[in-house]
Amino acid sequence: MGSRFIQEVLSWLKAILIALVIVFVVREFIMTPSIVNGESMMPNLQHGDRIIISKVTSIERFDEVAFHAPDADENYVKRVIGLAGDTVRMEDDVLYINDKAYEEPYLDEFKQKLIGEQRLTNNFNSVVVPKGKLFVLGDNRRRSRDSREFGLISEEAVIGDVVFRIWPIDQFGIPK
């Protein structure tokens, strides 16, 4: 009876160890959970939202990414606006990338609340994004610390692409 009990315990320990290894590999190399801290991505991501970050997807323009902040000991979530080789500027609340105007539908909720000549985003001069760097902006442009303030971020600082919101439950799904 003692031998059977030991085999059962060893079997359970083996299963637990395998599960822990799988969890470690997934979190370290494939995807990881995170919590949105602050208001800079409102209204699309709220303070306290629980998100899943994919570490294996390629980063594209307008993706929401998590990265190691260059100016603080924390991680930020922002939207990728400029990729390597791009020239980015903002003029009269219109985003220009390589001299082409882009619509930003993820900002519509904020823009509808503007009164008269108010602007969501102040003008900024052209910024050329070199190889290995990204230009990022928060969706809540008036309350975001982003590339306008701390400059370009290194592609190496990117943790991954925000692919899913798991909390709050009523907003469960793929963020805008």
Helix (H) or strand (E) segment spanning residue 23 = helix 2-25
Neighbours of 39 (CB within 10 A): 16
Annotated active-site residue 126? The verdict is no
In the chain, the amino acid numbered 86 is D
Q: Which of 3, 34, 78, 144 is catalytic?
A: 78
Annotated active-site residue 111? The verdict is no
List Cα–Cα distances, 47 to 24, 79, 111, in angstroms.
27, 16, 20
SS3 69: coil
* Residue 147 burial (10 A CB sphere; 0-12, 13-18, 19+): buried
Q: Which of 40, 54, 144, 147 is catalytic?
A: 40
In the chain, the amino acid numbered 144 is S
Residues noted as catalytic: 40, 78
